[in-house]
Amino acid sequence: MAMSTRDGRSPAYDTEGLKQAIENSTTSVLPPTGFRALVASQDELKALGFPRRPDPVLQPAEYAFWQKMFSPTVAFEAFDIRVLSPVTAGLRRSFNQSPRRESSLNWSGAYITPRDGTVFSSVWGKFQVPTPTQPANGRASETYHSSTWIGFDGQRRYYRSTLPQIGTAQNIDPGTGAGNPTTSFFAWWQWWVRGDPAQSHPITLVSPKIHAGDLIMCLMHVAPDRTGVSFVITNLTTSRSVQFFQTAPLTGLGQPFNIPGATAEWVMERSAAPGNPTPLQLPDYGTVVFHDCGATCMRHMIRSPAWIFGDTSVMGCDWAGSPLTHHCH
């Protein structure tokens, strides 16, 4: 969540220290020429920072997503990051709710919860990058920010909650002097930690490059010990992909947070700036549709340390797997 100092200023961030901490907690190796994620061994995938390949029998929907995400035409790019200016995503701010529909001041999208004592191990989705424009009666001097992402555990306000997420940003920033406003697009991820802004900074992925109208696929997979997540973002339009594994941020006791896998989300969001709890202005982004949304559940066997995969369900606005459609009003 956005934080501020006592005098209302944004808190100071050690951006170089944060970048070093991120690099120390991530694993990503550029795959060799000709690498095929669909046929590589699980050990090879892990060493390079990829998620574990799903079982085509137990996880058919996730495997089908893999086949599209890692098609032979996709080229892998090196993991490279930049620390963003202090603009952050956060938990959904509730406004109103009913059994199947809820209102929010900063989220538009959908979330689901697992069933029958299971937890989520993977979440994935596909969307087209929206083209942001100034809303009606908007001003050239205003800043308009939006983000489109998938993630785990951002819905429930439980103790020691975190929110790993990955997606794209679509922003409009004021021009300098008499210049026109500028539009920017980029891939990013963030591991938000409740009450710890120093570890919650959003991080820009230098690659893959993002443009308006690009078709994006995102995938997140929780490690077996629940203390890390593998992230993949693929730009299908440019056939470029980046993968990495990150260990969860540390608790006050110096141990990584555990990922509960209590919710999975597909979200279009208004970002917020530290020092101001009000979300930034939202651009007119038209319509965003999430396709091929899904999440895999797992069940822990009481007499075994192993996690056993359950069936994969593709979720949409309803249990039939309809696309998630979001309009800017």
Length of the chain: 329
Take residue 277 and report the two structure tokens written for it. 């709890």
Please tell me the predicted confidence (pLDDT) of residue 325. 46
Which residue in this structure is represented by tokens 């944060």? Answer: 18
d(CA 173, CA 175): 6
| pLDDT score for 249 | 87
- Residue 52: closest CA among 64, 73, 38, 33: 38
Q: Could you read off the pLDDT of 267-326 as tens digits, one per residue?
A: 998 877 655 667 788 898 998 999 999 999 887 644 433 444 443 444 432 222 334 444
Q: Which residues make Cβ contacts (< 8 Å) with residue 23, sequence separation at least 6?
A: 81
- The answer to whether 89 and 167 have CB atoms below 8 angstroms apart is no
Considering only residues 83 and 234, tell me which one the structure prediction assigns the higher pLDDT.
234
When the pLDDT of each residue in the chain is averaged and rounded to a whole number, the result is: 80
Nearest Cα to Cα of residue 208 among 244, 182, 163, 165? 244
Contact 201, 10 (CB under 8 A): no
CATH class of the domain whose range is 15-95+107-323:
mainly beta
Of 216, 194, 211, the residue nearest 293 (C-alpha): 216
Is residue 244 classed as helix, strand or coil in its secondary structure?
Answer: strand
Q: Note the pLDDT tens digit of each residue in 137-153.
A: 888 888 899 999 999 98
**Nearest one of 138, 130, 24, 13 to 81, comparing CA atoms:** 24
d(CA 217, CA 167): 9
pLDDT attached to residue 272:
73
Which has the closest alpha carbon to 67: 178, 179, 191, 219? Answer: 219
DSSP string, 263-292: -EEEEEE--B-TT--SBPBPPB--EEEEEE
